[in-house]
Amino acid sequence: MIWLEKRPAPSRTWSAASPIVAVFLTLIAGGIMFAILGKNPFEALRTIFWDPLFHEQFASFSRPQLLVKAGPLILIAIGLSFGFRAGIWNIGAEGQYIMGAIVGAAVGLALYPSESVLIFPLMVVAGALGGWAWAMIPGLLKVRFGTNEILVSLMLVYVAENILASAAVGWLKNPDGAGFPGSRNLSQWEASANPELIAGTGAHWGVMAAVIAVVFAYVVFTKHILGFHIRLSGEAPRAARFAGVNPNLLVLVCLGLSGALAGLAGLFEVTGPAGQIGIDFNVGYGFTAIIVAFLGRLHPIGILLAGLLMALTYIGGELASFMLSIPGAAIQAFQGMLLFFLLGVDVATHYRVRFGRKGVA
Amino acid sequence: MSQTPLLDLSGLRKAYPGVVANDDVTFAIQPGEVHALLGENGAGKSTLVKMIYGLVRPDAGTMMLNGTPFAPPEPRAARAAGVAMVFQHFSLFEALSVAENVALGMENPPKPSALAARITEVSNTYGLPLDPNRRVGDLSAGERQRVEIIRCLLQDPRLLIMDEPTSVLTPQEVDILFATLRKLRAEGTAILYISHKLEEIRSLCDAATILRLGKVVARCNPREKTASELAELMVGTSLKPPKSGGAAPGDIILKAQDLSMPSASAFGTPLRNISFELRRGEVLGIGGVAGNGQDELLMALSGERKLPQGSLYFEGEDIGTRPADMRRRIGVLSAPEERLGHAAAPNMSLTENAALTAARRQGMLSRGFVNWGAAKGFAEKVIGAFDVRTPGPGVAARALSGGNLQKFVIGREVMQAPEVLIVNQPTWGVDAAAAAFIRQSMLDLAAKGTGVVVISQDLDELMEISDRFAALNEGRLSAEVPTGDLTMEKIGLMLGGAQTTAMEQA
């Protein structure tokens, strides 16, 4: 019989090793899945993990995509990690991402066709505020009425999607767009454009913001009393209250921060890679970022690495479905395996696996 | 030994990673004997009784019950063999009735009406008054314990294990319990009795086995030893009773005036019109049976819960609306009862737990940034000054034994030189040596002019260290009485009398 015994203290070795073990197990299980689908597993894995970076023909196109995709994932996941560490579950980053993009774009488009250099910074602030305000809805409802932030933030994603649709076909529609849905192209309007900063890398302002967010989160969690209080609230809520933490304030700070960063990610996306407010503007970064946050152990450096890895599986997945005609659903299952194995291996951090007869009833 | 012992333990050993909890433990319990198991925290008492009750399997050694090998793989088997146990922490459902709770612990519960009749019968036979139809949430701690005891007695046990049974009882309830235990003994039931209260053991027990660091260090007849001799056997060194500095009380430093606070949860206790005055240099003892508002009083005084204006004053200043960290800044410090999860975060290091209350007052913060080096230094200072046994400040709080963590938690506040210190159950579940140390540290604080409020269910402790005494009952506080004028019996009446009134009102 196999059973689990709780460790006296969480294992540091396993805590550090579990993402690596999880990735390894995902490779094995994924390889088996690709083999069952009749594909050469080694070729499939090589196409997903190696070719996007080093393939002589595709790498020049797909390599910059790595940062383009990893940027918003990391930015959003860093924001989420603040709440997740404190036991505050913002599941609606996708909605905050959409609202940040809409509010930022709307502020910019209101000033069209001005060429002022202040427009882009103004849009950045508006984008952060848009995401922040959207996150304040579940925050205030939780603080005031004790509603569940998981449900409220998640439901608001669908509200945001409808607002996005109405903006794309209505009030933000490009007046010169011959009736097609979608706003003016923000990446082609110099005042609002968020271009690639270093040619060939894919790094735009959003990637810079993600790097800054990683550093900021690292400093807050390791050095600042706010980070300590956030961790304390997650570990022992009563001890946090005893220490003097105001739980309601913490809910608003954590949700606000994650909302603002998701809003920023949306703004940088709509002014850069996406270019315009369209009906299908959001592609699920807000949800994938939840996986990234946990895959990265809610640790800023971990999130940085997890964001890059997740971006790689996206790009590699596209490449694999294009080159080897592996179905998209198989790629998604492959990404899901990563989280599955991570959570599974995580058990080893807190428990010891024992074989044989149970000694404790 | 002529007769076959009821339970014969020989060479029992149990090791956990990094610690040997029991090593070569050998002793025997005779039928109809009340056998005391004594030892400091971490001496291995819990592990030993868990092995007897089938919760833990020994690594080596044998147990014989009535001359036949006994190795219960689980508590159910132990119960079937006639071993019953009353735990220190009750496992009762507050929303269910007494009879329903008893039924939940039985393998084949009889029909509810038959069970209720059995409960009434047993409770009458053993002098443990209990109404099977009352809801457990409405019962006092003493009555809840009776539920546990009756649950055990319904199984007709040959050996009853009791873990610290009197820690939650009033003196009157202790007398009732002892009468019951003596009756059981007379009927031939053996009792394995775990307690820190040496006077109780001397009056109740026929034999004692003393454990230290997992090994049996002495066997004796407790009636032939004095309490201090027993304590020395337990600790291995001699103990000095705490000494008060004897400073005359100074000005009023903390004053509660008509302090009321609604309960936060359905089973909590609201505080009702509490008034008291605390002077510099005095120890105010607040006694009471568990669940009469002790936790709530600590939360109200520490600042964890906010109070209406005009109910709490520090040096004449209204501090009722100030949050916990602002009260700490002016020197109002506190230590709650529950060590893990309330006073300290279990998975965080001692350094982090030092910063939990000391960050602001000890100058570890500059512009919101924590100086972790200073926090580590402060944690090391507490560890050194309070003799906390731990490899270092990087260790997680939950890795410490209860007594060591309690020393750390109390030391963390004492070392911050408080103006007012409020503690709840400062020595609960702590061994004699650590308890004496903690009590002395509070007396030393008072000698330096700190006002100390000690909320405790241990009346001996309150008699020993407090200058004045008040009883907490159903969220109400009695008038304060100088401790010198009180005897144990009078205190018992203060608590018990107040209780009768409360029950009449209910």
Provide the mean pLDDT of chain B: 86
Query: Å from A9 to nearest chain B CA?
Result: 7
Has residue B17 got a pLDDT over 90?
no
The pLDDT of B70-94, averaged and rounded, is 85
Residue A29 lies in a domain: no
Please tell me the least confidently modeled range out of A93-107, B18-32, B406-420.
Answer: B18-32
The pLDDT of B335-342, averaged and rounded, is 90
In this predicted structure, what is the pLDDT of residue A9? 66
Give the strand pairing for B190-194 and B252-261: unpaired
Task: Tell me which DSSP letter residue B195 carries.
Answer: -
Rounded CA separation B370/B359 (Å): 7
In this predicted structure, what is the pLDDT of residue A83? 95
Which candidate from B303, B342, B359 shows the least CB-CB separation from A239?
B342
Q: Whose structure tokens read 């080093």? A: A54
- Report chain B's C-alpha Rg in angstroms: 24
In this predicted structure, what is the pLDDT of residue A357? 59
Does A244 contact B325 at a Cβ distance shorter than 8 Å? Answer: yes
Model pLDDT for residues A167-191, shown as the tens digit of each residue: 999 898 888 888 888 888 988 888 8
Number of domains, chain A: 1
In this predicted structure, what is the pLDDT of residue A356? 65
Rounded CA separation A259/A267 (Å): 12
Contact between B399 and B346 (Cβ < 8 Å): no
Which residue segment(s) compose the domain that A226 sits in?
A: 63-325
Q: What is the ipTM of this complex?
A: 0.83
Query: Å from A209 to nearest chain B CA?
Result: 23
Model pLDDT for residues A3-35, shown as the tens digit of each residue: 777 776 667 777 778 878 888 999 999 999 999
Inter-helix orientation angle A300-323/A328-350, to 10°: 150
Residue A319 lies in a domain: yes
Q: Which of A236-245, B229-238, B242-251 ranks highest by mean pLDDT?
A: A236-245
Does B344 contact A243 at a Cβ distance shorter than 8 Å? Answer: no
Domains of chain B and any CATH numbers = 7-235 (3.40.50.300), 252-505 (3.40.50.300)
Query: Comparing A269 with B268, which gets the higher pLDDT?
Result: A269
The model's confidence at residue B1, banded by pLDDT at 50, 70 and 90, is very low
The model's confidence at residue B502, banded by pLDDT at 50, 70 and 90, is very low
Q: Helix or strand or coil: residue B83?
A: strand
In this predicted structure, what is the pLDDT of residue B504? 39
Has residue A359 got a pLDDT over 70?
no
Please tell me the least confidently modeled range out of A77-81, A287-291, B205-209, B428-432.
Answer: B428-432
Give the strand pairing for B7-16 and B60-65: antiparallel
The pLDDT of B359-376, averaged and rounded, is 92
Q: What are phi and psi of B444, to 5 degrees?
A: -65, -40
In this predicted structure, what is the pLDDT of residue B501? 40
Query: Å from B109 to nearest chain A CA?
Result: 21
Rounded CA separation A60/B328 (Å): 60
pTM: 0.77
Does A235 contact B348 at a Cβ distance shorter than 8 Å? Answer: yes
Cβ-Cβ pairs closer than 8 A, A with B, add up to 86
Does A244 contact B365 at a Cβ distance shorter than 8 Å? Answer: no
Percent of chain B with pLDDT over 70: 93
The model's confidence at residue B389, banded by pLDDT at 50, 70 and 90, is confident
Query: Å from B224 to nearest chain A CA?
Result: 38
**Chain A residues with CB within 8 Å of chain B CB:** 8-10, 223-226, 228, 231-232, 235-236, 238-244, 246, 359-361
Q: Whose structure tokens read 């913002």? A: A90
The pLDDT of B127-143, averaged and rounded, is 82
Task: Tell me which DSSP letter residue B97 carries.
Answer: B
Q: Which residues contact B43 (CB under 8 A, 6 or more apart)?
A: B211, B212, B213, B214, B234, B431
**Chain B residues with CB within 8 Å of chain A CB:** 16-18, 54-57, 73-76, 302-304, 323-326, 328, 336, 338, 341-348, 352, 355-357, 359, 365, 368-370, 372, 395-396, 398-399
Count of Cβ atoms closer than 10 Å to residue A115 Cβ: 10
Contact between B352 and B441 (Cβ < 8 Å): no
Q: Which of A105-109, B72-76, B262-266 ranks highest by mean pLDDT?
A: A105-109
Which candidate from A9, A10, A223 shows the least CB-CB separation from B369?
A223
Residue A35 lies in a domain: no
Chain B residue numbers with beta carbons less than 8 Å from the beta carbon of A146 are none
Residue A135 lies in a domain: yes
Angle (nearest 5°) at CA B275 between B270 and B279: 130
Q: Which of B38-52, B232-246, B253-267, B376-390 ranks highest by mean pLDDT?
A: B376-390
In this predicted structure, what is the pLDDT of residue A165? 94
Does B73 contact A236 at a Cβ distance shorter than 8 Å? Answer: no
In this predicted structure, what is the pLDDT of residue B431? 75
Residue A357 lies in a domain: no
Q: What are phi and psi of A275, to 5 degrees?
A: 90, -35
Contact between B469 and B462 (Cβ < 8 Å): yes
In this predicted structure, what is the pLDDT of residue A347? 80
Residue A12 lies in a domain: no
Contact between B34 and B205 (Cβ < 8 Å): yes
The model's confidence at residue A360, banded by pLDDT at 50, 70 and 90, is very low
Which one of A226, A242, A349 makes the best mutation probe of the B interface by having the most chain B beta carbons within 10 Å?
A242
Query: Å from A215 to nearest chain B CA?
Result: 15
Q: What are phi and psi of A176, to 5 degrees?
A: -100, 20
Does B368 contact A224 at a Cβ distance shorter than 8 Å? Answer: yes
Rounded CA separation B137/A228 (Å): 37
Model pLDDT for residues A126-162, shown as the tens digit of each residue: 999 999 999 999 999 999 999 999 999 999 999 999 9
Which candidate from A8, A224, A361 shows the least CB-CB separation from B370?
A224
Which candidate from A8, A225, A246 shows the least CB-CB separation from B359?
A225
Does B372 contact A223 at a Cβ distance shorter than 8 Å? Answer: yes
Percent of chain B with pLDDT over 90: 36
In this predicted structure, what is the pLDDT of residue B496? 58
Report chain B's terminal Cα–Cα distance, integer Å.
53
Contacts 24+ apart (CB under 8 A), B329-333: B329/B360, B329/B361, B330/B419, B331/B361, B331/B417, B331/B418, B331/B419, B331/B420, B332/B254, B332/B301, B332/B302, B332/B303, B332/B418, B332/B419, B332/B420, B332/B422, B333/B357, B333/B361, B333/B413, B333/B416, B333/B418, B333/B420, B333/B421, B333/B422
Model pLDDT for residues A197-255, shown as the tens digit of each residue: 888 788 899 999 999 999 999 999 999 999 999 999 999 999 999 999 999 999 999 99
CATH number at residue A129: 1.10.3470
- Report chain A's C-alpha Rg in angstroms: 22
Nearest by Cα to B301 from B471, B189, B424, B219: B424
Residue A174 lies in a domain: yes
Task: Name the residue in chain A with its Cα closest to that of B76.
Answer: A361
E strands, B55-200, where? 60-65, 68-69, 83-86, 159-163, 190-194
In this predicted structure, what is the pLDDT of residue B433? 79
Model pLDDT for residues B281-332, shown as the tens digit of each residue: 999 999 887 778 888 999 999 999 989 999 999 999 999 999 999 999 999 9
Provide the mean pLDDT of chain A: 90
Query: Which residue stretches of A37-118 are H helix?
Result: 41-49, 51-54, 59-86, 93-110
Dihedral sign for Cα atoms in the order A305, A310, A312, A313: positive
Model pLDDT for residues B402-426, shown as the tens digit of each residue: 788 999 999 999 999 999 999 999 9
The model's confidence at residue A106, banded by pLDDT at 50, 70 and 90, is very high
In this predicted structure, what is the pLDDT of residue B240? 63
Does A242 contact B357 at a Cβ distance shorter than 8 Å? Answer: yes
Which candidate from B73, B356, B398 shows the least CB-CB separation from A243?
B356
Model pLDDT for residues A32-53, shown as the tens digit of each residue: 999 999 989 999 999 988 888 8
Residue A282 lies in a domain: yes
